[in-house]
Structure 1
Amino acid sequence: MDWFEEDNVCKDVCGASCPARDQSMCDEVTADNHMLNLMNRWGYDPLLPSQVAKFAPVERITHITVGLIILGTGLLGTVAHGSLISLHLRLHQYLLDPTGILLLNFLLANLFMCIFQFPFSASSSFAARWLWGDFGCQMYAMAGFTIGIGVIFSLGLMIIDRFVSIRSKGQVLTRKNVGIMILVCWHVILLFTVPPLMDVFGRYGLEPSGTMCTIDFWHGNFRNYNTYVIYLVVFGFGLPVSVMFYMFIKSTQMIQEKEHNKKWKILQLEHHTALTKACGILFITQMLCWTPYAILVLWTVVFPPSSLNLYYTLIPPLVCKASPALNAAIVWWNIPRIQAGYRYLQSGSPESLPIELGSMSCQKDQQDQAQPGQDQQQEEKNELTPAVG
């Protein structure tokens, strides 16, 4: 029914034909107040102007500085990871063993982080406002969260590979195992990043600076933000990181024990030691780059959004966006096999294959050792078999 006020009396348009009349619909309630009451009743009160934290505008020079940092690290990360991926693809017959496939997955995640983040956030920072609309904001935030978690989980797969390769006696993960691991990994990540996109469990939105988008951490408990962030930090960060740390520590201990490293030749042992070291440095780097963001999103679970310092909220996304460039440098400087592959391509001599590009699995060596014995047995059997005809 439609209500109107006449001479301070609340009446309905349909008159006596209406079965029920709620005088509170318009008795001393203005349209604005009625809308506020509805927003409170429907759970939108954290978005009311009176509830939203107020921040002073970011200075223009700060926006430009942020834009330059994002642009520089984004370009550097794109070129570096593009080069490493190209190297793996050109030398796929040597580098893309199961361990190499996991490393390639990690490199691709970092490359996608650069491609789907820095062009949009850098251009918006230069413009001092978000340029890509609400849909662009949602896609940008989801891509950032999906690929960001993907970088950490992809490193986790590499650490699992280290743990299995070192602990097992000659048995390594197969290409099929690795493919299943990667597929499951990226599907699990969607359990954390799709609900905010659907606006059912957390939500994506502009950051207080107005030039980047992420999980909406500054509008209180809207869309059960507190529960979502605890779920995200515990199962998408804390638990995986704890498992990765345990497996890495065990790997470093086992690789120093003769019982586990005797199956490798010296060059193979050096390769696996270098890979384990690289995983450790990458792990520390991810903790340094992503922990500030975990603290930021947890902050408003404990403290009110008004306690945030606007300029401090710019630091975590900048550190995260620098991680791809750092990861590329770590991979390059700590895995001799990749350096050998680069020198091999630069030499232009297909005949002079570096020994670092040989098989780094002890399975092949075991097969080679078993083959002479099998050949000898076959020869003895042939000698004992009488000639026919």
Structure 2
Amino acid sequence: MEDKYFSKLSPIMDYGAGAFLLLVAILTVIGNGAVLVAAVKKSSQLKPSELLSVNLAITDLVAALTMYPLAIASAWNHGWLGGDTSCIYYGLMGFLCGVASIMTLTAMAVVRLIITTSSTITANNINRRNIQISIVCIWLYALVWSIFPLSGWGEYGPEPIGTSCTIAWAEAHNSWNTSAFITVFFIICVILPASTLTLCYSWIALKHYQAYRNMKSNKRIFKTNKMQKKLTVMAVLVSVGFLGCWAPYAAISLWSVFHSSVNIPPTVSLLPCLFAKSSTVYNPFIYYAFSSTFRKEIREVKFCCIGQVQVPIGDPARNQPSVRWMKRNNVQIQPFQEENQ
């Protein structure tokens, strides 16, 4: 194993980091898996804008399944596993899922702004096909950025802690190529999306405030506006959660462009890395707290095989029970004679 792939952390910290990532991976798979199951169960009733929430769940689930097992094993191995090949793979998947996530959040903010502030005719242009095209464009855009380091602009490499890989920001101050990539990436894929999120949700908040004052007398319109406000708050929390998790990591990466990272303690490098990876956990819990529909779907998934048993009354000899499984959670026991009829 090369020196750059040896862990710079103590064995206790490595085991702790691995255990934390294992917990994050389990919660991510369970939570986002539930989101996808609920989406499949109501696929015919999904609104076009909800497809973006489904795509966000997919990005988080892909990250958990393709990246976290390798990171956990490397942490517990006290050194990166697989060498350069697995390091490039890990960095590429991290960029792919990260860029896809933040661009999906940006698209959600723009769509929410259009729905809130535009006329009915304009809002109707947000149909399923347009959203699907947007999702394809998001993944292609993320793929382009993840391929840049493979084509010579930027470089994937191990992080200072030695048990994780991403763009080689630790040595960025020594390379104009890597420094330029990190700077441009930070501006286009972090600053611009974050600014878009802030502007969109600030404008939406202003519109909701105006609508609250103008429509309070109309109960039906007031109720609709209240529901839209709730959806907006949910979307804001999802965005804030993602940006808040990645902000420390982005800050330390950008700082390394202008300063050497040699003097950064391993713990300082570890904590932003773990905090960023935890961003895949929160969204399902936010959906569960704010969406009664999502809570209902989760309960139906949980109890899909638990039904109500109806015991027949009559002659036991003639009423032999047979089980009929209904669509979701109804299990009926009927007389065998009636079943044949």
Interval containing the TM-score (normalised by the shorter chain) = 0.7 to 0.9
Q: Paired residues, what number?
A: 298
Unpaired stretches in structure 2, ≥5 consecutive residues? 308-325, 330-341
Kindly provide the CA deviation profile for residues 263-304 of structure 1, in whole angstroms up to 9, marking residues without a partner as x: 975664443222101111112212210111111111111212
**Paired residue for 1:283, among 239, 262, 265?**
239
Q: Show the counterpart of 2:314.
A: none
Q: Is 1:81–2:32 an aligned residue pair?
A: yes
**Can you list the C-alpha shifts for 1:45-88, whole angstroms capped at 9, x where unaligned?**
xxxx9xx9xx9932111110110001111111111100111011
Secondary structure of the residue aligned to 2:153 is coil
> For 2:266, what is the secondary structure of its paired residue?
coil
For the 8 Å contact 1:67–1:121, the answer to whether it is kept is yes
Q: Which moved more, 1:122-131 or 1:303-312?
A: 303-312
1:237-276 aligned at under 5 Å gives the runs: 237-258=190-211, 268-276=224-232
Pairing 1:187-226 to 2, within 5 Å after superposition? 187-198=140-151, 200-219=152-171, 220-222=173-175, 224-226=177-179
Change (3 A) 1:180 1:237: same
Superposition RMSD on alpha carbons, in Å? Answer: 2.7
Equivalent-residue separation in structure 2 for 1:79 and 1:162 (angstroms): 27
Deviation at 1:136, TM superposition (A): 1.2
SS at match of 2:209: coil
Match 2:189 to one of 232, 236, 247? 236
Q: Which has the larger radius of gyration?
A: 1
Aligned partner of residue 157 in structure 2, secondary structure: strand
2:13 corresponds to 1:57: no
Aligned mate of 1:300, from 256, 264, 286:
256
Match of residue 137 from structure 1? 87
2:58 partner letter: L
Question: Is 1:334 matched up with 2:334?
Answer: no
Alpha-carbon contact 2:74-2:163 (below 8 Å) kept: yes
SS in structure 2 of the partner of residue 74 of structure 1 = helix
Q: TM-score, normalised by structure 1?
A: 0.71
Tell me: CA distance 1:93–1:270, structure 2 relative to 1, closer, same or farther (3 Å).
Answer: farther
Task: Describe how 1:1-389 pairs up with structure 2 within 5 A.
Answer: 57-94=8-45, 96-170=46-120, 171-172=123-124, 173-198=126-151, 200-219=152-171, 220-222=173-175, 224-258=177-211, 268-343=224-299, 346=303
Give the superposition deviation at 1:340.
2.9
Normalised by the length of structure 2, the TM-score is: 0.80
Unaligned runs of 5+ in 1: 1-48, 353-389
Which stretch of the first structure deviates more once superposed, 146-155 or 220-229? 220-229
State the one-letter code of the partner of 1:168: S
Inter-partner Cα distance in structure 1 for 2:328 and 2:150: 53
Provide the rounded CA distance (Å) in 2 between the counterparts of 1:270 and 1:226. Answer: 46
Structure 1 letter corresponding to 2:14: H
Deviations 1:299-358 (A, max 9, x none): 111212223222211112101111111122112212222123334554879799xxxxxx
Greater Cα offset, 99-108 or 213-222: 213-222
Comparing 124-133 with 332-341, greater Cα deviation is found at: 332-341
